[in-house]
Structure 1
């Protein structure tokens, strides 16, 4: 992707993601969301949802990226948001980091109350079965970053009822 510092490790399934990242996600509780970044194309401002969503919680940067139908990478403090995204000279649009996102802006400055992994469990056969989303809960509301089947989505409000909530808690302790 040409993103400086980004070396994703994609995991599959709730157990693997919770074991690797549950404590780190839970430890974000009580921190303020101080910024966010997504990749937009300079020419038209469109979001390139294949790239990671970066959230900064008082200096702890979490980088979330979905890939394929069921793979999730969560990385920590690795992406250099000041470096230009490289290797796109062949493409007609220019990707760049942007802190402007109308969905995330209302949460900037808010204290994180809870982090949850959401696991899609459809009542029928579903290509999205067992995909994961990461939910962030604040006093002002909540959002989750989900797998939109090979790219990220940012969704506001309560998750779809077919998501099972796995609360990771707040602070250093897991529930």
Structure 2
């Protein structure tokens, strides 16, 4: 999927199902150091390619977060960061993995994870929707969430979202 060899994420729209499948593993990240953050970029422009997963290396484990349509996926150790990305078979678009390439990410290197949050959104007249995942670290907050079918990475909480500790 997404031009990433052997990548077959399971996407979730239901918060309870997501927590049942990933809650224990996310809680096991507590007190482990965030070592690296990998993102996909277009080679010539350097532009962050937000349709692809964001990979966090935490305590020797790869946490892989991806957005698709109105759902999110978390996978573990499924992506080989050394493999080339061939975006849906197109060789014209050149993409590559880059370590700590988003401004501000290197500040979190070596920081222990203190907790994880489920990020949800509530709009009047609509059901609560699963939006993303947040990590509390000793050096601040990292939020990965789905924003209109693309992964957004921020370093603060969005006042419009609901945060539930996992």
TM, length-normalised to structure 1: 0.87
Worse overlay, 23-32 or 128-137? 128-137
Compared CA separation, residues 89 and 113, structure 1 to 2 (3 A): same
2:107 & 2:125 partners in 1: Cα distance?
A: 36
Change (3 A) 1:46 1:87: closer
In the alignment, the residues of structure 2 paired with residue 44 and residue 76 of structure 1 have an alpha-carbon distance, to the nearest angstrom, of 29
Q: Secondary structure at the match of 1:131?
A: strand
The whole-number CA distance in structure 1 between the counterparts of 2:57 and 2:105 is 11
CA drift at 1:85: 1.2
Distance of aligned partners of 1:105 and 1:94 in 2 relative to their CA distance in 1, 3 Å threshold: same
Residue pair 1:14, 1:132 contacting (<8 A) in 2 also: no
State the match for 1:145 in structure 2: 144
Counterpart secondary structure, 1:44: coil
Counterpart in 1 of 2:42? 41
Cα distance in structure 2, aligned partners of 1:161 and 1:90: 39
Moved over 6 A (4+): none
**Residues 1:90 and 1:3: Cα distance change in structure 2 (over 3 Å):** closer
Shift of residue 35 of structure 1?
Answer: 0.7
Distance 2:125 2:155 in 1: 25
Q: CA shift at 1:137, angstroms?
A: 0.6
Paired with 1:103 and 1:68, the residues of 2 have a C-alpha distance of 27
Q: What is the CA distance between 1:125 and its match in structure 2?
A: 4.6
* Aligned length in residues: 164
Question: Over aligned residue pairs, what C-alpha RMSD do you find?
Answer: 1.8
Q: Deviations over 1:91-145 (max 9, x none)?
A: 54301111122132111110111111111113x256x951321001112110100
State the 1:161 CA deviation: 2.4
5+ residue gaps, structure 1, are 169-175
Is the CA contact (8 Å cut-off) linking 1:43 and 1:93 kept in structure 2? Answer: no
Tell me how far 1:89 sits from its aligned partner: 6.0
Which segments of 5 or more consecutive residues in structure 2 lack a partner in the other structure? none
Instruction: Please report how far the alpha carbon of residue 88 of structure 1 lies from its aligned counterpart in structure 2 after TM superposition.
Output: 5.7
What corresponds to 2:154 in structure 1? 155
Paired residue secondary structure (2:74):
strand
